[in-house]
Structure 1
Amino acid sequence: MQISAIREAIAEAARAVVLPEGLAKLTCSGYVPDAVVAPHFFVAEYEQVFDRGMSRSLDELTFTTRVLVGRGDDKAAQKLLDAMLSGSGPASLKQTIELARGAPGEYALGGLADDLHVMRVQGYRWYEHASSTYVGAELMIKVIGEGNA
């Protein structure tokens, strides 16, 4: 699997989130940005397990992604974050990103991986990023695919 391409594909999938009317559009990046235009989703660290299948047939990547929301109004920021962390709905990152799995029998992320799964949310808290404070959380995304691709 090509990690850089997968990072970009996850960010592209997240861009399809539909936030409530009157709010800024979600900005997304495949890498940790120097500066954030909130609300912002980005792919951060990852772990890789090689050789889940014989002959390099399957590797597993677990990406830590973050979503940060400006804290102009603490309650409104947390409500927006809650909507993006929900399991379903137009603002749900899980639902939106998992659309990139493709139809049954298709490869995920436009052919870059066999499958992906948004596994869990963790780290719901205040984050310091580039000298600014945001409310945010991490989404853990598992991606599996051919190890020798």
Structure 2
Amino acid sequence: MQMTAVREAIATAARAVVLPAGIQKLTCTGYAPDSVTVPHFYVGDYSVDFDKAMRRALDEVEFTCAVVVSRSDDLSGQKVLDALLSGAGVASLKVAIEAARGAPGAFALGGLAHDLHVKRVQSYRYYEIAGTQYLGAEIVIKVIGEGSA
């Protein structure tokens, strides 16, 4: 798998979320940004388990992504974040990202991977980016694909 392309494809999939009226559109990047426009989703670090099948046939990658929202009003920020972290609904990052799995039997992320799965949400807390604190959480995504590609 080509990590840069996979990271960008995950960010592109995340852009499909629909936030409530009056909330700015979700901005997304395939990398950890120097600064953000909230709400913002980004693909952060990752770990790779190589050679899950012989002859570089399969690697397994776990991406730790993050989503941050404004904390100007604690309650409204938490409501937006909760909608993004929900397992269902038009604002759900899980739904938007897993839609990039493709049709049954098709490759995920536009052909970049065999499959992907949004595994869990963790670390619901304050994050600091460029000296500003945001409310946010991490989303862990498992991607499997050919190791020799």
**TM-score category (smaller protein):** over 0.9
Q: TM-score, normalised by structure 1?
A: 0.99
CA distance in 1, matches of 2:18, 2:52: 35
Q: Which residue is equivalent to 1:89?
A: 89
In the TM superposition, 1:27-46 aligns within 5 A as 27-46=27-46
Q: Which residue is equivalent to 2:15?
A: 15
CA distance in 2, matches of 1:128, 1:34: 11
Q: TM-score, normalised by structure 2?
A: 0.99
CA distance in 2, matches of 1:132, 1:74: 15
Q: Which residue is equivalent to 1:61?
A: 61
CA distance in 2, matches of 1:55, 1:31: 29
Structure 1 position 139 matched with structure 2 position 139: yes
Which amino acid in the other structure matches residue 115 of structure 2? D
CA distance in 2, matches of 1:9, 1:112: 8
Gaps of 5+ in 2: none
**1:38: how far off?**
0.4
Gaps of 5+ in 1: none
**1:126: how far off?**
0.7
Aligned residue pairs, count: 149
CA distance in 1, matches of 2:14, 2:63: 14
**1:72: how far off?**
1.3
Which amino acid in the other structure matches residue 55 of structure 1? R
